[in-house]
């Protein structure tokens, strides 16, 4: 199943941001009991938390949040890309890649690096929800599959933007209203 949560603060993150991300991830433990991870750029005010249920790539190479080879994109992904193999072949034909594993998450990141966000999402067939941070443009992309099969919630408060697979990850923050 997997799940993710995150925030984007105006300005710097609070000093306890790693703890906050841990709490947000713990709130959705049942979505991914196999592993958890957090990624934080406190200077930009952005943080991602991920809970993983290992299905396609059982190795550590599928651990999230995951950063693209170029370092431009960081993703927290929930779902499955049905055309993962053909996308990977298409990427490989244009730009050979040193793959770390077999996950569809890694394939998406390579495609984002090659084609950009919009073109990659148009090519991707599956059920998914994505939180994608662009380190170059300093922007966040939230996306779902065409039918909205995977959940994605978000809200804006006075100084932060929250997003995630379940609302209860927001309630894990003591100051959430």
Residues known to be catalytic: 2
**How far is C-alpha 131 from the geometric centre of its chain's CA atoms?**
4
Sheet with 35-41, side-by-side order of all strands: 35-41, 46-52, 3-9, 160-164, 153-156
Q: Tokens 């999230």 correspond to what residue?
A: 64
At what angle are helices 84-94 and 104-115 packed, to 10 degrees? 40
Q: Which residues of 47-69 are buried (b: 16+ CB within 10 A; e: fewer)?
A: bbbbbbebeebeeeebbbbbebe
């Amino acid at each position: 199943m997997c799940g993710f949560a995150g925030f984007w603060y105006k300005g710097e993150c609070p000093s306890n941001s790693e703890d906050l991300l841990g709490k947000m991830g713990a709130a959705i433990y049942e979505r991914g009991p196999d592993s958890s991870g957090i990624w934080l750029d406190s200077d930009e005010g952005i943080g991602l938390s991920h809970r993983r249920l290992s299905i396609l790539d059982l190795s550590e190479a599928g651990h999230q949040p995951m950063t693209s080879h170029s370092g431009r994109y960081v993703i927290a992904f929930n779902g499955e890309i049905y055309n993962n193999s053909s996308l990977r072949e298409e990427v490989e034909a244009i730009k050979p890649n040193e793959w770390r594993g077999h996950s569809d998450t890694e394939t998406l990141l390579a495609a984002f690096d090659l084609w950009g966000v919009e073109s990659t999402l148009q090519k991707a067939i599956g059920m998914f929800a994505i939180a994608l941070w662009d380190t170059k443009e300093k922007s966040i992309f939230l996306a779902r599959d065409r039918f909205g099969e995977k959940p994605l919630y978000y809200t804006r408060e006075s100084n932060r933007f929250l997003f995630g697979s379940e609302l209860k990850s927001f309630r894990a923050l003591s100051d959430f209203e």
